[in-house]
Amino acid sequence: MRDILIAGALALAACSPAAEEAENLAPSCDARAASAWAVSDAQYSVEAASAGPDCARAVATFVVRDASGAPIYAEAYLAQHVMVLADVSDTAAMETALRTWTDPANSTTMATTSALPDWPARANGPENGEFPFYADESVDRDTYLGLRQADVPLLCFVQGMESLACLALRNGQLEKVGVQTFPG
């Protein structure tokens, strides 16, 4: 009888709101990855992390840090809205996907701002044919052309289902230049 009472008490404790709440708070898609981004003599860290009750409902962060560890860029995304993170089903697969996401070698389409498409006079934005590039709303034509002329390092990464976000490194800081789309 005593064993039955103990088993019953344990079963009730497991069903208590506190136990259920603690179980719901523990993320089951907690993953991390980092890659190095070497630019001239400087070393940067490109990091990503995910957290959520499962990978389908995870939030992923993308962070770039300078050599001292200070963040110079950070953004959060719904993992299900980022091509390389969508459809990931478990933590081990998420770690692999985050490693792919943070690796600058996976974004070799444009290494510097001089490779950005031209923005002709009187055009509404840069022209790039089948792979349009949309300048960030904070970047006007003069700023954009100045970035192309400066030929500074460019870090592009998948930021959606069919697009790359491109960041220019100037004076130790990253600034978003715009988004390049690609056929999905």
Write the pLDDT tens digit of every residue in 106-126.
876 789 999 999 999 999 999
Q: DSSP secondary structure string, 56-68?
A: GG-EEEEEEE-TT
Whether 17 is covered by a domain: the verdict is no
- Measure the CA–CA gap between 134 and 63, rounded to whole angstroms: 22
Beta pairing partners, 133: 180
Whether 140 is covered by a domain: the verdict is yes
pLDDT digits (tens, 9 = 90+) for 123-181: 999 987 788 899 999 999 999 999 999 999 999 999 999 999 999 999 999 999 999 98
Whether 18 is covered by a domain: the verdict is no
- Measure the CA–CA gap between 27 and 151, rounded to whole angstroms: 42
Q: Which of 100, 98, 128, 119 is nearest to 33 (CA)?
A: 98
Whether 8 is covered by a domain: the verdict is no
Alpha helices in 15-152 (DSSP H): 17-25, 91-102, 141-150
Res 70: pLDDT: 97
Whether 107 is covered by a domain: the verdict is yes
For the chain, give the percent of residues with pLDDT over 90: 74
Residue 61 has which token pair? 């962060």
More confident residue, 105 or 140: 140
Res 182: pLDDT: 79
Whether 77 is covered by a domain: the verdict is yes
- pTM score of the predicted model: 0.82
Res 105: pLDDT: 87
Number of domains in the chain: 1
- Measure the CA–CA gap between 50 and 101, rounded to whole angstroms: 12
Whether 4 is covered by a domain: the verdict is no
The domain of 62 spans: 27-181
